[in-house]
């Protein structure tokens, strides 16, 4: 698991402007709108002016999982995979609330093999699992949970731009 590599193995970095199917500058108009991304789907949610962002993010993600056929789950394994996605979204958005003045955007993309979650914020901090991890200690488990549930995760920073995007990838159910 990585906290420094900005992209997962084999990923060549961010798509050129507009390649994700959602053009820049149309944030409010495209919030929640599905967009095609090659072999998958992309959904974007702007948190500008929103309150109750953690339940909002979970509901948004749940709707995407229904649209992409992850829910309703036909098997216990598929249900567990969907619940893992919802938990990771909750943890990443909560971290942005606690450590970075709140999240700016949530991006979720799904291909045949991987679901990618991205939460952007204006915080300068570097998320990392607490070490050593002590299960009995209250709080501080978010990034440990993300690390355990995800195939990989990391942080992307753009030079000269405040903030970061924390991303995590989970395997699609079989």
Q: Is the pLDDT of residue 80 over 60?
A: yes
* Percent of the chain at pLDDT exceeding 70: 72
Structural domains in the chain (count): 1
Q: Is the pLDDT of residue 36 over 50?
A: no
pLDDT at 103: 97
pLDDT at 39: 57
Report if residue 60 sits inside a domain. yes
pLDDT band, very low/low/confident/very high, at 108 (cuts 50, 70, 90): very high
Q: Is the pLDDT of residue 96 over 80?
A: yes
pLDDT at 11: 47
**Averaged pLDDT, 41-52:** 96
Q: Pairing mode, if any, of strands 103-110 and 114-121?
A: antiparallel
Report if residue 29 sits inside a domain. no
Report if residue 94 sits inside a domain. yes
pLDDT at 17: 37
Structural domain for 148, as ranges: 49-171
**Averaged pLDDT, 84-88:** 98
- pLDDT digit string (tens) for 135-146? 667 677 789 899
Q: Is the pLDDT of residue 1 over 80?
A: no
Contacts of 110 (CB under 8 A, 6+ apart): 40, 41, 42, 64, 68, 70, 116, 172
- E strand residue ranges, the chain: 35-37, 40-46, 103-110, 114-121, 152-156, 164-171
DSSP3 helix / strand / coil % (the chain, rounded to 5): 30, 20, 50
* CATH number, residue 115: 3.30.565.10
pLDDT band, very low/low/confident/very high, at 127 (cuts 50, 70, 90): confident
**Averaged pLDDT, 90-110:** 95
Peptide bond into 13 cis (omega under 30): no
Report if residue 123 sits inside a domain. yes
Spatial distance between the Cα atoms of 148 and 165, rounded to a whole number of angstroms: 19
């Amino acid at each position: 698991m990585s906290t420094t590599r900005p992209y997962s193995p084999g990923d060549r970095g961010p798509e050129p402007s507009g390649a994700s199917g959602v053009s820049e500058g149309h944030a409010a108009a495209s919030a929640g709108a599905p967009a095609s991304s090659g072999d998958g789907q992309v959904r974007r949610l702007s948190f500008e002016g929103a309150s109750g962002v953690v339940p909002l993010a979970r509901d948004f993600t749940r709707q995407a999982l229904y649209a992409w056929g992850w829910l309703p789950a036909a098997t216990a394994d598929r249900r567990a995979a969907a619940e893992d996605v919802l938990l990771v979204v909750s943890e990443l958005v909560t971290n942005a609330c606690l450590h970075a003045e709140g999240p700016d955007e949530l991006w979720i993309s799904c291909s045949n093999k991987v679901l990618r979650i991205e939460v952007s914020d204006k915080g300068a901090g570097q998320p990392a699992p607490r070490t050593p991890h002590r299960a009995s200690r209250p709080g501080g488990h978010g990034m440990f949970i993300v690390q355990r549930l995800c195939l990989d995760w990391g942080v992307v920073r753009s030079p000269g731009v405040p903030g970061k995007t924390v991303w995590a990838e989970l395997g699609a159910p079989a």
